[in-house]
Amino acid sequence: MLVAVALLVAGCAQVDGTVDEASAVKDKAAVCAEALGLADLDPLVDPDKLKARAEDKERRLRELAGEVSDRDVKNSLLTMADSYVEVQTERFEDLSVVARWAKRNADHLDALRKACT
């Protein structure tokens, strides 16, 4: 009887571990999907609106980074958040600044996609 109880407890612990792993994978997938959806930004809108949207995206990316345990995804999210801080401080009226930021942002998105796979 005692052996049966021990096996039952061990089996429950194993199931809990499997559920936790599945939950972590789901969380990573959900975080990645939301982060990739946040990545758009139209630099050719009103500068005040651009800065407000960038601030919102930065905040949300940092929140998502706090919700995921995968280190590569977390680092990619924080790097992307930092790029939106740059949007808030740069003069985006200059098209060369826009082009450089867009290139860096595309690179950050690519890194996030790789981390999410």
Give the tens place of pLDDT for each residue, 21-37: 444 555 899 999 999 88
Predicted model pTM: 0.72
The position carrying tokens 């860096």 is 104
* 49 in a structural domain: yes
Q: Which of 56, 60, 32, 54 is nearest to 105 (CA)?
A: 54
* 66 in a structural domain: yes
* 16 in a structural domain: no
Q: Give residue 12's pLDDT.
A: 45
* 10 in a structural domain: no
What's the token pair of residue 96?
A: 């060369």
List, in order, residues 6 or more apart from 63 with CB less than 8 Å away: none
* 18 in a structural domain: no
Give the tens place of pLDDT for each residue, 56-113: 999 999 999 999 999 999 999 999 999 988 887 877 677 787 788 889 889 999 999 9
Task: Tell me the DSSP string of 29-51.
Answer: HHHHHHHHHHT---TTS-HHHHH
Q: Give residue 26's pLDDT.
A: 55
Number of domains in the chain: 1
Residue 17 pLDDT exceeds 60:
no
* 73 in a structural domain: yes
Q: Give residue 5's pLDDT.
A: 41
Quick one: which H or E segment has residue 116?
helix 95-116
Q: CA distances (Å), 41 to each of 36, 46, 56, in order?
A: 12, 12, 11
Instruction: Decide which of 8 and 38 is more confident.
Output: 38
Helix (H, G, I), strand (E, B) or coil at 15: helix
